[in-house]
Structure 1
Amino acid sequence: MAAVLILIFLALTFLMSVHEKIFHWQETLDWLKSHFSNTDLKNHVPLATWILVVFELIAAVLCCIGIVEFFINKERLFGYYGTLFSCISLLLMLFGQRLAKDFDGARTITIYFIVAVLGVWLLGS
């Protein structure tokens, strides 16, 4: 059951993140352009944001399917891949935060990453 709670946590996290980015696109871009203004990403913020949105959406969808799959037939495949895509998404964000020298932001992402890795471990066993 701990694995299902992790899947719910990750699904909510990434669904909310995708929702915010898509429905508040210009605000998100403005903030990110400012955040990355002194980095090599400064000219690639829209593309980098779309790439992140795609990975977050894949993670969220796989986690949601994984929850249903677990309750229907006790399988873990979709949940496992959901947690893997969650880890990839978080690593992309961690890279960005470190590049921007936002160490507090990087530290916060690490907390989410620990939960996602625990999910990989529980669902991959």
Structure 2
Amino acid sequence: MNPIFDHTILKLIQVAISLFAGVLFLQSGFDKVIDFSGNKSYIQNVFAKTFLSGVSTVLFIVITILEVAAGITSFLGGVYYFVEGQADFAVLGLELAALAILSLFTGQRIAKDYAGAASLVSYFLLMAFGLYLYSLQG
């Protein structure tokens, strides 16, 4: 096993992206859990005039679970990769994060919140770049 401070720049960037995704989705997911009724009402209002209005509560629960899972897996996966050099959980976390962003992006496009959808592009690109960097381990 390598000493804990024996890391390459590539590894440090990979870990930083994983930790970033972890913080992003833990905060977002836990905010939805803590203020469940407020966030659910907001989502119901956003999708009230779309074909998703009847399932907005179910979709809200699904995205909440997805965000919390992406956050936990990304954060702990990044720490585990930093300490042990095993990247599987970090990669899974970034895959879940990319899926969560795609889901949020799709919802915002359906709700015609084009500015909100556009703001997610940079997050998606960061997750895709992180996945690419993890693929370089080969």
Is the structural similarity TM-score above 0.5?
yes
How far, CA to CA, are the matches of 2:84 and 2:36 in structure 1?
A: 38
Q: Which segments of structure 1 move beyond 3 Å, counting only runs of 4 or more?
A: none
User: Match for residue 14 of structure 1?
Assistant: 25
Listed one character per residue, the Cα deviations across residues 99-121 of structure 1 (whole Å, up to 9, x for unaligned) are 00110010011111011111111
- Which one has the largest radius of gyration? 2
| Superposition TM-score, scaled by structure 2 size | 0.86
How far, CA to CA, are the matches of 1:10 and 1:76 in structure 2?
A: 15
How far, CA to CA, are the matches of 2:45 and 2:33 in structure 1?
A: 18
Q: CA deviation at 1:73?
A: 1.6
Q: CA deviation at 1:124?
A: 2.2
Aligned length: 125
Gaps of 5+ in 2: 1-11
**CA-atom RMSD in angstroms:** 1.0
Question: 2:54 is paired with a residue of what secondary structure?
Answer: coil
Q: CA deviation at 1:15?
A: 0.4
Q: How does 1:84-99 map to 2 (within 5 A)?
A: 84-99=95-110
Q: CA deviation at 1:65?
A: 2.0
Q: How does 1:70-85 map to 2 (within 5 A)?
A: 70-85=81-96
Q: CA deviation at 1:68?
A: 2.1
Q: CA deviation at 1:97?
A: 0.4
Gaps of 5+ in 1: none
User: Match for residue 58 of structure 2?
Assistant: 47
Q: CA deviation at 1:3?
A: 0.9
| Superposition TM-score, scaled by structure 1 size | 0.95
Counterpart amino acid of 2:82?
F
Are residue 26 (structure 1) and residue 55 (structure 2) matched? no
Question: 1:44 is paired with a residue of what secondary structure?
Answer: helix
Alpha carbons 2:23, 2:75 under 8 Å: kept: no
Counterpart amino acid of 1:43?
G
